[in-house]
Structure 1
């Protein structure tokens, strides 16, 4: 009955042999999944909030710091993926190295990353979709685009676009991973093209005066009900923590290991490639954006109150290039669909792994024979995510998503180090170079970024983990497959 029981490597190998998932993903499809998840809210939404509320033009440095934090974790993920090429991501890695309670906490924390991240993206998509409709002079009523808590009118309201886009994505995913991957590849090609367009076209409208001072003097930003520190070195660090949500996604590659054709080689390649590609694009876009618009112009109470909601598109609008804003709005509207697709896919595979181990109900591990996907699992997730996205104000969800991601990254850095010590002779097709140094750096920087998240996000996330521990001891511990085998 030990809460520290470890799932043996042989059990993972047996699960892989019995898996009904279809191995249809090559290394470039896996890389596209990573890029598809990473490029989305980060470039199209968080660049404005990161520049105004945190770092100013030095947002590029924030992206570098967040990217470095990810590199340490990405290397550790890659080593694990070469040992345990199974669905479940950090949850499975912890189960095979540290113990069941640790794996459960990570799995429960990953819900913050994927399920709540999906809700955040669905609402972000709704904002871009409404902006796109306005370009064509179509205006949906406020009660159909606003959650009840944010609605200023009377009577019923819901965010209908957010609700419908989740159901649309679910309808694609349940048809099969191969079809979903093809759709994702096309969307990713469109998104990357749009980002490259922003970098090249935006470079012609940069005013270098907007970069001065590059690191603004530390100050306090006063809002309606609160104040918080911004700019300076502290602002750069808090900016890195806040925009970490932009990097959610490269670990989604590891959740698809059960469907990779050659997971031990292709998953590590895709994790590192997708992270490097997106980090470079993020840095360049943040430099172009803060060069086109002064960071102070993203003030939601200032001259351009809507600029913070769709910063890249508004930067081109203000530069008098409305046609470019239209291209970006279309690309963002379509592009965010692939982020939502990958996040829901990732969450369903984590649930699939946890269900196989008996820690959550067996309904989540049923795989449809025709499509090779966990259809019921996806439908349950779709119902929950669509309803929450439509009826809940989720201003804090981006930070809570960042908490779940940073927490998982920290645990993976610890776990890969422990496994190297405990089982040094395991076959590893990819090994982290200078592991103790890389692992310690990953643990320290990710923990430091957690500390720099908002106090409210830390409180909510802490309560979420506490609820998870209660569920583990009241339900999962006694139903664990390892416990019943023993």
Structure 2
């Protein structure tokens, strides 16, 4: 590839990937935590149970200290990003973690990462689609339209559902309902992807601009209405809350590794990659911290539990007060910017998920039908449709916290494997050419593994059980099917 990218181009690429929809959606859960009706070991974060040996009825929120959580997450992403950059620079083609892991660490690890990426992309888009639906409901509310709750809320509600006045609509647990807006947006974008209508670079830049504009408008509009008393106590649940908040909000940083995968096109990867990764994380973290500080200053931190659209709902609450009337229009602008940003994220990551399935099928790890290309549209139509329904159906059934956790643990596990891969390859192939080498020997990869595991410990035990169940299913498919059909097995 042509080596045309410098540090500014890489930073712009990274900001476009990181400024996603998480900051408009899961930030409420990260701030307020989750509180269930009954105490259970399954709902307790791993770290809390290991330290205190007690079951909790949910997990603590970070409160205003989410700003600290965001800085911790950015630090971990910086460590892991450098590891990604080294692996990406070791092979002659650009690609995802699955692609270059296959070329460097072998088929089994590649399968695990590929299977994990499916969970990461799916969980991410399920979370975004639920957040998108919540913002659609807010947009309808802005115009005075109020659809029935059973068609705009998930069938499973771990914390129940209340109306704006605080009255119970549904108790916690399963109920008759389906989140139709979340389901429909995924299927609509699936049709777009099957037909091969992809965003141009200019359209993507417009989407990124709208996302940034929505964030900046919210920050500057909120400054006038902040009540400093809402910041006390700053860390209501101590380090446990900060860790849990970081584990929940980690989802919003998915995409920073797009900087590292452009190693092949850098003018000077040894210099430009660290600059691009660090600049991306610094700029995005400043913006995200500003949102967290403003949001927790606007409304009490406890009031955002289970809210899939906390930013616009905070503006809604304030716009109903006499001195908050100007925020009525600010809320509409932020709503539209958030919706466009979510469509952008959904389109990009839904495309990425289907391409992972396509690549795994082409290597023989999944059935051939997943790599079939549509005769007319020249896209992997079957993979795209399967990926669409795999995301759309759970989006209609589950709440945003459950779905975000699946994305977070999948991403963190992939980061652990990539960081370990750097250490293994340093020992196994020390003389192999590296366009970029992580400085400091094994220190940064080891720290990356440690901090990723620390953030994973902030996730509930039930999330770990679901994740291990996902891995067991994947390994079963690999050992009984994929390993006998892969190109390494000589079938192709």
> Scaled by the length of structure 1, what TM-score is found?
0.81
Aligned equivalent of 1:65, options 69, 72, 82: 72
Q: Deviations over 1:53-85 (max 9, x none)?
A: 211111100001111111111111112222236
Q: Deviations over 1:146-180 (max 9, x none)?
A: 34445969997432211221122223334548635
Aligned equivalent of 2:27, options 40, 47, 50: 47
Query: Does the alignment pair 1:78 with 2:77?
Result: no
User: Where in structure 2 are the equivalents of 1:322-333 lying within 5 Å?
Assistant: 322-333=328-339
- The SS at the match of 1:332 is helix
Q: 1:278 to 1:82 in 2, by over 3 A?
A: same
- Post-superposition offset of 1:387: 2.9
Q: 1:438 matched to which residue of 2?
A: 444
- The SS at the match of 1:396 is helix
- The SS at the match of 1:426 is coil
Aligned equivalent of 2:468, options 462, 465, 481: 462
**Which segment drifts farther, 203-212 or 143-152?**
143-152
Residues of 2 paired with 1:208 and 1:152: CA distance? 33
Aligned equivalent of 1:428, options 423, 431, 434: 434
- Number of residue pairs matched? 442
- The SS at the match of 1:288 is helix
Residues of 2 paired with 1:78 and 1:96: CA distance? 15
Q: 2:407 matched to which residue of 1?
A: 401
Q: 1:310 matched to which residue of 2?
A: 309
Q: 1:136 matched to which residue of 2?
A: 143
Residues of 2 paired with 1:236 and 1:400: CA distance? 19
Q: 1:453 to 1:82 in 2, by over 3 A?
A: same
Q: Deviations over 1:346-389 (max 9, x none)?
A: 21222222122111122333456876643432233123322332
User: Where in structure 2 are the equivalents of 1:93-104 lying within 5 Å?
Assistant: 93-104=100-111
Contact 2:259 2:277 in 1 (8 A): yes
Q: 1:20 matched to which residue of 2?
A: none
Q: 2:219 matched to which residue of 1?
A: 199
Residues of 1 paired with 2:404 and 2:313: CA distance? 22
Unaligned stretches of 5+ residues in structure 2: 34-60, 158-168, 319-323
Q: Deviations over 1:378-406 (max 9, x none)?
A: 23312332233234556412111100000
User: Where in structure 2 are the equivalents of 1:214-253 lying within 5 Å?
Assistant: 214-216=234-236, 231-251=237-257
Contact 2:131 2:400 in 1 (8 A): no
Residues of 2 paired with 1:263 and 1:465: CA distance? 39
**Which segment drifts farther, 406-415 or 433-442?**
433-442
Aligned equivalent of 1:179, options 188, 195, 199: 199
User: Where in structure 2 are the equivalents of 1:368-383 lying within 5 Å?
Assistant: 373-383=379-389
Unaligned stretches of 5+ residues in structure 1: 1-15, 17-22, 217-230, 301-307
Query: Does the alignment pair 1:295 with 2:301?
Result: yes
Contact 1:36 1:342 in 2 (8 A): no
- Post-superposition offset of 1:210: 2.2
> Scaled by the length of structure 2, what TM-score is found?
0.80
Q: Deviations over 1:247-297 (max 9, x none)?
A: 122235667x69x97799598876555444322211121112112223133
Contact 2:78 2:277 in 1 (8 A): no
Q: 2:478 matched to which residue of 1?
A: 472
Q: 2:183 matched to which residue of 1?
A: 163
Contact 2:131 2:309 in 1 (8 A): no
Residues of 2 paired with 1:35 and 1:175: CA distance? 28
**Which segment drifts farther, 165-174 or 265-274?**
265-274
Aligned equivalent of 1:339, options 315, 320, 345: 345
Q: 1:186 to 1:376 in 2, by over 3 A?
A: farther
Q: 2:48 matched to which residue of 1?
A: none
Residues of 1 paired with 2:177 and 2:299: CA distance? 34
